[in-house]
Structure 1
Amino acid sequence: MTQAVAESKSKPKQSKSSKSEKEVKIIPLLIVLAIGTALWFINAPSGLDEKAWHLFAIFVATIVGLIIKPLPMGGVAILAITATVLTGTLELQDALSGFQNTTIWLIVIAFFISRGFIKTGLGTRVAYIFVKKFGKKTLGLSYSLLVSDLVLAPAMPSNTARAGGIIFPIIKSLSSTFGSSPENGTGRKMGAFLTKVAFQGDMITSAMFMTAMAANPLAVSIAADVAGVDITWTGWAVAAFVPGIVSLIIIPLVIYKLYPPEIKETPGASQMATKKLQEMGALKKSEWYMIGIFFLILALWIFGENIGIGATTTALIGLSALLLTEVLTWNDIKKEEGAWDTLIWFAALVMMATYLNELGMIPWFSAQIEGLVSGWSWIVALIVLALVYFYSHYFFASNTAHVSAMYGAFLAVAITAGAPAMLAALLLAFFSNLFACTTHYGCGPAPVFFGSGFVSQNKWWSLGLIISIIHILIWGLVGGVWWKVLGLW
């Protein structure tokens, strides 16, 4: 009897918990459906195929869905794929064609590889090593965190996992060691400065490698479909290297000047890192395997094209090596939810971007905009387009949604205006990472760092605006000179 009463009392609690865990949000879902339906029944503009307009309606509804999230991103993508088939906009094999895209599999496999850094503890060890070597001053400490991020970036496509899973816990530990906490009003001692530098640094490292942020390969795929521009892993890295390094040097100095920490000397940081490394002990066999495989992958990404080994094949080689050495198990692969989630939404977005181009939507849009930029030099046109693309990120809560919605169209217009295709593709791709510096909601790592409470929203936005201007100047001027040396224009 007592047991029955207890069970009956527990049922409402379970029901309440279940209700709170529902993924489908009705009002946002109705908004998405209303937008898609309204666009669908508007007559296609003159000169545009009706199927292209219908796919555009589904695409816009999908982008809105990615922003307001009636379902998780993967769920929104499945609905989009289903809609394209049920409405007869695309055949089933066309709607599923995104899953054949090799660039998608590159980023998915890179997620698996990044799991090796986390599972073995190598990522955390690397960060503590740099803290130990360069952490005697707060400014040096901030640079040590950025260098750690830079080292991990080529093989970790989730900048949220990289910054939030490895770098941010170290910031919390360091801040606690030096008595810096937002709860007791001491955030400015150290934590606020390190939080802001680490976040802004992650935006830079994400821009420096094709495999450092999940939406980067999406931009690469769109560039190939829209403009026939083939951006290689090495080509991206080389083009981003000089402006990226300059940004990594200058941005911490700017933040140090505008938002300085109260504690300038941090001898205890090296001691703390030393203690943590002692607790971790000597390099484990799995870490040695991870180091060797990482350098193998990096070497093949840089030089593999010369011997016929592409970036995705290299990723497969690395993953196979991790499985054979048991650094990762198949259970690890199955549990890497971020990778499988990325596969779904990435495939849907690439598919729609591809067919928007094939059905004539992107060429039609480019033709409409061509009149607006006619008579402009391509340099002026590219600058204006890049600035609009950059600052429109205030309206987006996701790099992926922004790239999906605007990258292809803006690239097409820039090329129509006469801008060199590779230059325009790379500049917009770099900005597809850097524009997230502005707000506390613009990308995955932002809520992690902002949610710590170290930095107020007003300060986050004001610093973000200043840093955005510096990024544009560095990547526009220093980058422009470097790209001229590389022959991109």
Structure 2
Amino acid sequence: MQNSIKYRKFILPLIIGIIICALTPIKPESLSPQAWYMFAIFVTTIVACITQPMPIGAVSILGFTAMVLTGVTDIKTAVAGFGNNSIWLIVIAFFISRGFVKTGLGRRIALQFVKLFGKRTLGLAYSLVGVDLILAPATPSNTARAGGIMFPIIKSLSESFDSDPKQGTERKMGAFLIFTEFQGNLITAAMFLTAMAGNPLAQNLAESTAHINISWMNWFLAAIVPGLVSLIVVPYIIYKIYPPSIKKTPNAKHWANDELAKMGKISAAEKFMIVIFIISLAFWVLGSLIHIDATLTAFIALSLLLLTGVLEWKDILNETGAWNTLVWFSVLVLMADRLNKLGFIPWLSKLIAESLGHFNWPIVLIILLVFYFYSHYLFASATAHVSAMYAALLGVAVAAGAPPLYSALMLGFFGNLLASTTHYSSGPAPILYSAGYITQKRWWTMNFILGIVYFIIWIGLGSVWMKLIGIL
């Protein structure tokens, strides 16, 4: 049997962990040995999530075991970490997104958009991003949206217009559509609490480390204006700096019609999926008014999917991404929570806040966001990045006098936007990049340009908008 463990990639995490443990005698006096060991285990685990000697779930289990063995937490507290309601929201939303893929509803929606708005390549790009926007609230895996639903359609559509990197014709259409979908995907991920796995994690960390309550609705309200502006502006910028050679696509409607004809009439399962999706959205939006928790809404939706036969129990068991997320997410949240309760995060926040003490809070927050964004070059997972830095940076911002909810939301948004860096930045990036339509140099260059655009829109316009709605 082939061994998939890359033992050499354990070397760097272990060296870093051993060095941190060896520094225990000279640790800050205000920190307990337990807090310092927890820090060592956390850093080792995060670095291993980056080097990936094993899948992230396996790495997290090793970290979990180390926590209990070293006594930084007891086994009862550790196991209880797997019952976190925010994490179960993510897991169940994975199952809901499976319904879109299994029934073909996601593909049907995309083809309808192509049919309606696909006369020009730019309109085609906007229509595909629009599909991502519609699916985002109930699809916490932006990788599933980009890779499972959008990418196959974009690839088929591009090839129907003879845009294929194997033939050297990637610039005809495919390169533009691929890169626009990548950017649109990370924007829509930033717009909804349930659109990317790291968002509920940020919500949980804000609550557990800073006692800040982020609801589905206030996340959505704060993100709607900068998000929609980004979805309008960014595809147009890409169109100008990286234009497709095919500007008009009169055959797109015909292609979409053919594909829809192959799918046939809308099935009963798709109709059930539509109704359950609408019910879920309504409950998420109105949850605070009708006193139904977001996680309970997810359970209701899953129950309805099972009762209507849209999903079978074997679909739930086979959704490995959901169960994988449950394991590693639970462990990373547990680690962050222990760092906070053992006093490490408050100590670190105070230390950084004191070093930035001569700046006023807007400058401090901007520095933190810039650092958060560009440090993502060191990460291959947006969620791992959120796990590593969100709580500490939020603590610094609040200590500097920044409005708590505003800071928590802004860091939450940038936990998605920071994926606009590399071709390995998040789940969708390697899927879309590996199609071969865009070179690494072009990918990094355009991402760098658009990163600046995100700062202008989300910090500038976003702050003005949040001031108007009373968050800032």
Note if 1:371 corresponds to 2:354.
yes
Aligned counterpart for 2:233 among listed residues 246, 250, 254: 250
Aligned counterpart for 1:156 among listed residues 139, 145, 153: 139
- 1:310 counterpart residue number: 293
String of CA shifts for 1:68-105, please: whole Å, max 9, x gaps.
11110110111111001111111001222321210000
Note if 1:33 corresponds to 2:14.
yes
String of CA shifts for 1:408-436, please: whole Å, max 9, x gaps.
11110000000000000000110000010
SS of structure 2 residue aligned to 1:437: coil
Note if 1:165 corresponds to 2:148.
yes
- 2:364 counterpart residue number: 381
Aligned counterpart for 1:483 among listed residues 452, 456, 466: 466
Please list, as runs of the form range in 1=range in 2, the aligned pairs for 1:127-142 lying within 5 A after superposition. 127-142=110-125
One-letter amino acid matched to 1:28: K
Measured after TM superposition, the shift of residue 370 of structure 1 is 2.0
Listed as ranges, the gaps of 5+ residues in structure 2 are: none
Distance 2:81 2:4 in 1: 25
Measured after TM superposition, the shift of residue 33 of structure 1 is 2.4
String of CA shifts for 1:47-72, please: whole Å, max 9, x gaps.
11110110000000010111011110
One-letter amino acid matched to 1:159: N
SS of structure 2 residue aligned to 1:436: coil
Note if 1:220 corresponds to 2:203.
yes
Aligned counterpart for 1:328 among listed residues 295, 311, 322: 311
String of CA shifts for 1:26-65, please: whole Å, max 9, x gaps.
1112332232222122123221111011000000001011
Distance 1:128 1:208 in 2: 23
SS of structure 2 residue aligned to 1:455: coil
- 2:183 counterpart residue number: 200
String of CA shifts for 1:183-216, please: whole Å, max 9, x gaps.
1111000011001101111010010111111111
Aligned counterpart for 1:435 among listed residues 418, 439, 446: 418
One-letter amino acid matched to 2:366: I
Distance 2:94 2:121 in 1: 32
Distance 1:134 1:37 in 2: 57
- 1:42 counterpart residue number: 23
Measured after TM superposition, the shift of residue 375 of structure 1 is 2.4
Measured after TM superposition, the shift of residue 108 of structure 1 is 0.3
- 1:124 counterpart residue number: 107
Distance 2:13 2:171 in 1: 42
Task: Report the TM-score, using the length of structure 2 for normalisation.
Answer: 0.98
Distance 1:60 1:97 in 2: 22
Measured after TM superposition, the shift of residue 477 of structure 1 is 1.2
Aligned counterpart for 2:254 among listed residues 263, 268, 271: 271
Contact 1:378–1:419 (CA under 8 A) maintained in structure 2? yes
- 2:213 counterpart residue number: 230
String of CA shifts for 1:210-246, please: whole Å, max 9, x gaps.
1111111111111111111111111111111000000
- 1:63 counterpart residue number: 46
Runs of at least 4 residues of structure 1 off by over 4 A? none
Contact 1:210–1:217 (CA under 8 A) maintained in structure 2? yes
Distance 1:155 1:198 in 2: 18
The 10-residue stretch of structure 1 (363-372 or 319-328) with the greater mean CA deviation from structure 2: 363-372
Contact 1:97–1:351 (CA under 8 A) maintained in structure 2? no
- 2:340 counterpart residue number: 357
- 2:4 counterpart residue number: 23
One-letter amino acid matched to 1:485: L
- 2:89 counterpart residue number: 106
Task: Report the TM-score, using the length of structure 1 for normalisation.
Answer: 0.95
Larger Rg: 1
Distance 1:240 1:187 in 2: 33
